[in-house]
Amino acid sequence: MKKWVDKLTNKAEQWHIPQLLTFWKRGNAAMVGPTIAYYTIVALVPLIMTIGSIVSLLGVNKAQIHDTLKVQMPAGVADIVIPIVDSVLRGGFGTLSISILVAIWSASSILSTIRKAFNEIYGSDVVENGLLTRIVSFLWMLVLLTAAVAVMIANSVLPAIVKALPSAPGISLLKDFASQSWIYAFVALMVLFSLFNYLIPAEKMQWKPVILGSFIEIVLLLLLNSGFGIYSKYALKNASFYQSLGSLLVLLIYLNLVAMVMVVAQILIAWFMTFLDKPEKKKILESK
């Protein structure tokens, strides 16, 4: 029996299971998820104002925004968010101004909360000033928004370029490939989530674990969207009398689950990094 237990213990240490359990305990996904969801709800309108102003400036029409939201979100959640987007975009925020910077500052509260949660996972002992953390989050929000806009431009331009290519052997196959919108959506998500998971934590990150963790995060979100689309359909149907309240609750639950997936993905990234860390660093991480 003792031999079997020792063998199991050695196997667990070989797979760094103790470190994984430590990261899981620090992550506290069940508590962090609702907090992130709350700040997301609070900052939702400023965030939509910011993105809407940028895409309006770039000439991206409303139909493209609707299509993107429908691809990235469950049907029930997209039906809730799209009217909010339309309402905000009708508000006349078509150009960049001081009000947009204020909106980004308000939306950066989400990143500030997520950054603190991610730092807890790594046991980061960096003492950050509240105002400084908010400023850093504001800068990261600008970086991520810039990346998001760049990806949207690429998604709009690349298919048009491929379709404009003259007919030639192999070009038709390339055109068929370019017509698959899910490929652009997947590449866009990989770029954005990899940047997000690399830039937000205070810990020095490594690209291989970040890319692998981001891939798992996208898969989990796709599974969440598939399952939640069914749930939201019946939840909103049964809550028809309290339609507004029901919509808010469905959105809040969805954001809570998305936040939990983000925290779980960061826990996995931290775990993957232990396989690349030197033994001395592993001991330091465990002792934090």
| Residue 228 and residue 74 in contact, taking contact as beta carbons nearer than 8 Å | yes
Give tens-digit pLDDT for 16-70.
Answer: 899 999 999 999 888 888 888 887 887 776 667 666 666 666 666 677 777 777 7
pLDDT at 25: 93
- Compute the distance between CA of residue 272 and CA of residue 270 in angstroms, rounded to an integer: 6
- Compute the distance between CA of residue 269 and CA of residue 131 in angstroms, rounded to an integer: 28
pLDDT at 56: 65
DSSP 208-264: HHHHHHHHHHHHHHHHHHHHHHHHHHHHHHHT-TTHHHHHHHHHHHHHHHHHHHHHH
Q: How many residues does the chain have?
A: 288
Determine which of 36-40, 124-128, 277-281 has the lowest per-residue pLDDT on average: 277-281
The most confident of the ranges 55-59, 85-89, 167-171, 198-202 is 198-202
pLDDT at 265: 96
Give tens-digit pLDDT for 222-266.
Answer: 999 888 877 777 766 665 545 566 677 788 888 899 999 999 999
| CA distances (Å), origin 111, targets 47, 116, 196 | 12, 8, 10
Pick the closest to residue 212 from 263, 270, 256 (CA basis). Answer: 270
| Residue 137 and residue 47 in contact, taking contact as beta carbons nearer than 8 Å | no
What is the residue-averaged pLDDT of the chain? 77
Report domain extents, the chain: 23-287
What is the torsion angle, in degrees rounded to the nearest 10, for the CA atoms of residue 45, residue 66, residue 215 and residue 249? 50
pLDDT at 256: 92
- Compute the distance between CA of residue 226 and CA of residue 284 in angstroms, rounded to an integer: 40
- Compute the distance between CA of residue 121 and CA of residue 203 in angstroms, rounded to an integer: 10
The residue with tokens 């309006």 is 56
pTM of the predicted structure, to 2 decimals: 0.81
pLDDT at 162: 67
Average pLDDT of the residues in 155-175? 69
The residue with tokens 């808010």 is 248
pLDDT at 97: 56
